[in-house]
């Protein structure tokens, strides 16, 4: 049972956590959202500087909250890819430095592997194989989880990620940043059937549609046209109805593809991860459809859907248990596919 301290700084949260195997001992998340909100999105340079200012405080807080000491820590981990390079460097450098000073093993963790592991925090008994539906601000993927470090991506978005679509629609409707939680809230008061919008199917060359890949750019354009048409007719935009119809379409589209994929591959569990896993419309749709198809669907606790370090520590603990550690020469990468996860560990060199 490994105890790991992990740092997550891939985007706009400075997060530090201590996790014992799949049990969270402490989790500190310092969000920069209020700083980036004035720019309408994350400004990379501002994010890096903010991480630098907050990281030492967050590490101290993680120890304080857990009432633990360095002697109880078996390994030190940080997210090393994918993400904003300058932001990642702050967390990775801090983790490597601490590993050297404290003479503990160091592990570089893939951010998406962390999102997959978030489900273990609410369901420690979960074991592969299962299907992961990963829906965040940067990714929308269906991943066949075969074992720790062994992942096959079965489906993806061809353009915008689900969270990105929420953020862009919120910007279009002038609702603020980040768009997901705002649209989710607004949709509660709207009619999801008010407007028929395209689900974003991807055509196959021989006819028919791709079963697992999707696209959100057509949906985004359809909402833009709808808003333009309403403005042209001098009609006040029914914000709650537009939000509810958009959310319903995204939830239906993701649910159909996840269920088809799980059934085709004989996987009885779907574990959802990433910021959009917090979405109430997606939760409702997926749960209803899974029940009809005798499948089990699992969501991480709400606070571990969006970026956090507990999920990174959880993934690192599993790797450490298997004897995987990373070299101190490991660098950061803005892009890295999940298929290449084992490249981060020495046993993969
Ligand atoms: O996983 P995450 O924190 O960061 C990335 O790795 O990208 O996901 C952030 C994304 C944002 O696009 C945000 O708008 C979306 O997750 N999000 C939501 C909800 N909460 C966060 N989208 C829909 N409904 C929500 N309740
Ligand atoms: Zn994330």
Cis peptide before 82 (omega within 30 of 0): yes
Torsion of CA 31, 33, 36, 40, to 10 degrees: 160
Q: What is the radius of gyration, based on Cα positions, of the chain?
A: 20
Mean per-residue pLDDT, 71-82? 98
Q: Quick: pLDDT tens for 6-48.
A: 999 999 999 999 999 899 999 999 998 888 888 888 899 999 9
Query: Is residue 269 scored above 70 in pLDDT?
Result: yes
Q: Are 11 and 87 in contact (CB under 8 A)?
A: yes
Q: What is the largest CA-CA distance in the chain?
A: 68
Assess whether the C-beta atom of 279 lies below 6 angstroms from ligand 1: yes
Q: Quick: pLDDT tens for 156-178.
A: 999 999 999 999 999 999 999 88
- How many domains does one find in the chain? 2
Q: Are 130 and 145 in contact (CB under 8 A)?
A: yes
When mean pLDDT is compared across 78-92, 130-144, 188-202, 335-349, the lowest value belongs to 335-349
Cis peptide before 129 (omega within 30 of 0): yes
Q: Are 277 and 38 in contact (CB under 8 A)?
A: no
So what's the pLDDT on residue 347?
Answer: 60
Assess whether the C-beta atom of 160 lies below 6 angstroms from ligand 1: no
So what's the pLDDT on residue 101?
Answer: 98
- Its domain, for residue 108, covers 3-120+305-347
Residues 167 and 271 reside in one and the same domain: yes
Dist CA 267 CA 160 (whole Å): 26
Question: Pocket of ligand 1, candidates 136, 248, 304: which has the most ligand atoms within 8 Å of its Cβ, to mutate?
Answer: 136
The CA angle 122-87-216, to the nearest 5 degrees, is 65
Q: Which atom of ligand 1 is nearest to the CA of 167?
A: 14
Q: Which atom of ligand 1 is nearest to the CA of 273?
A: 1
Residues 294 and 319 reside in one and the same domain: no
Residues 116 and 134 reside in one and the same domain: no
Residue 1 corresponds to which tokens in the numbers above?
A: 């049972």
Query: Is residue 343 scored above 60 in pLDDT?
Result: yes
Assess whether the C-beta atom of 140 lies below 6 angstroms from ligand 1: no
Residues 292 and 144 reside in one and the same domain: yes
Assess whether the C-beta atom of 216 lies below 6 angstroms from ligand 1: no
- The pLDDT-based confidence of 349 (bands split at 50, 70, 90) is very low
Residues 30 and 95 reside in one and the same domain: yes
Assess whether the C-beta atom of 163 lies below 6 angstroms from ligand 1: yes
137 CA to centre of ligand 2 in angstroms: 7
Residues 289 and 188 reside in one and the same domain: yes
Mean pLDDT of the chain: 96
Dist CA 309 CA 62 (whole Å): 10
Mean per-residue pLDDT, 135-161? 96
So what's the pLDDT on residue 159?
Answer: 96
Residues 15 and 75 reside in one and the same domain: yes
Residues 163 and 294 reside in one and the same domain: yes
Q: Are 28 and 101 in contact (CB under 8 A)?
A: no
Q: Are 153 and 55 in contact (CB under 8 A)?
A: no
Dist CA 156 CA 49 (whole Å): 32
Question: pTM for the full model?
Answer: 0.96
2 CA to centre of ligand 2 in angstroms: 23
When mean pLDDT is compared across 133-147, 200-214, 245-259, the lowest value belongs to 200-214
Q: Are 200 and 219 in contact (CB under 8 A)?
A: yes
Question: Pocket of ligand 1, candidates 115, 306, 311, 312: which has the most ligand atoms within 8 Å of its Cβ, to mutate?
Answer: 306
Assess whether the C-beta atom of 87 lies below 6 angstroms from ligand 1: no
Residue 260's Cβ-side half-sphere holds a number of Cα atoms within 13 Å equal to: 14
Residues 340 and 260 reside in one and the same domain: no
Assess whether the C-beta atom of 276 lies below 6 angstroms from ligand 1: yes
Percent of the chain exceeding pLDDT 90 equals 91
Annotate 141-209 with DSSP letters as a single string: EEEEEEETTEEEEEEEBSSS-HHHHHHHHHHHTT--SSHHHHHHHHHTTS-TTSS-----EEE-TTSSE
CATH (domain of 322) = 3.30.420.40
Q: In Å, how far are 139, 165, 199, 250, 343 from 220, measured between CA atoms?
A: 16, 7, 10, 10, 36
- The pLDDT-based confidence of 210 (bands split at 50, 70, 90) is very high
Residues 158 and 25 reside in one and the same domain: no
22 CA to centre of ligand 1 in angstroms: 23
Mean per-residue pLDDT, 284-308? 97
Assess whether the C-beta atom of 307 lies below 6 angstroms from ligand 1: yes
So what's the pLDDT on residue 226?
Answer: 97
So what's the pLDDT on residue 38?
Answer: 86
Query: Is residue 348 scored above 70 in pLDDT?
Result: no
Dist CA 101 CA 105 (whole Å): 11
Residues 195 and 221 reside in one and the same domain: yes
In this structure, the residue with its CA closest to atom 10 of ligand 1 is 137
11 CA to centre of ligand 2 in angstroms: 8
Residues 134 and 246 reside in one and the same domain: yes
Dist CA 77 CA 326 (whole Å): 9
In this structure, the residue with its CA closest to atom 22 of ligand 1 is 180
Work out the burial of residue 268: count CB atoms within 10 Å of its CB; fewer than 13 is exposed, 13-18 middle, 19 or more buried.
middle
Query: Is residue 73 scored above 90 in pLDDT?
Result: yes
Question: Pocket of ligand 1, candidates 137, 160, 216, 301: which has the most ligand atoms within 8 Å of its Cβ, to mutate?
Answer: 137
DSSP 12: S
Query: Is residue 314 scored above 70 in pLDDT?
Result: yes
């Amino acid at each position: 049972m490994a105890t790991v301290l992990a740092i997550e700084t891939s985007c706009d949260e400075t997060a530090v956590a201590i996790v014992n195997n799949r049990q969270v001992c402490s989790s500190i998340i310092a969000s920069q959202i209020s700083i980036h909100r004035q720019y309408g999105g994350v400004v990379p340079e501002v994010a890096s500087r903010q991480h630098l200012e907050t990281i030492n405080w967050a590490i101290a807080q993680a120890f304080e909250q857990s009432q633990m000491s360095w002697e109880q820590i078996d390994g030190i981990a940080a997210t090393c890819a994918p993400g904003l390079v300058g932001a990642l460097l702050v967390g990775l450098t801090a983790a490597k430095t601490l590993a050297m000073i404290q003479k503990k093993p160091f592990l570089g963790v893939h951010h998406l592997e962390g999102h997959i592991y978030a489900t273990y925090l609410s369901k420690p008994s979960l074991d592969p194989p299962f299907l992961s539906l990963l829906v965040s601000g940067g990714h929308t993927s269906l991943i066949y989880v075969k074992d720790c470090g062994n992942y096959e991506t079965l489906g993806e978005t061809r353009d915008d990620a689900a969270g990105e679509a929420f953020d862009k629609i919120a910007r279009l409707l002038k609702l603020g940043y980040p768009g997901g939680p705002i649209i989710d809230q607004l949709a509660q008061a709207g009619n999801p059937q008010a407007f028929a919008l395209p689900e974003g199917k991807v055509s196959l060359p021989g006819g028919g549609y791709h079963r697992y890949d999707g696209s959100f750019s057509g949906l985004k354009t359809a909402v833009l046209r709808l808003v333009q048409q309403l403005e042209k007719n001098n009609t006040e935009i029914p914000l709650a109805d537009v939000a509810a119809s958009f959310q319903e379409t995204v939830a239906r589209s993701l649910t159909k593809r996840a269920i088809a994929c799980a059934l085709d591959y004989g996987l009885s569990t779907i574990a959802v991860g990433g910021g959009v896993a917090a979405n109430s419309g997606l939760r409702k749709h997926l749960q209803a459809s899974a029940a009809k198809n005798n499948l089990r669907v699992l969501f991480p606790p709400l606070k571990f859907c969006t970026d956090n370090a507990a999920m990174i520590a959880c993934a690192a603990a599993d790797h450490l248990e298997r004897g995987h550690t990373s070299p101190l020469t490991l660098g950061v990468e803005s892009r890295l596919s999940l298929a290449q996860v084992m490249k981060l560990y020495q046993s993969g060199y």
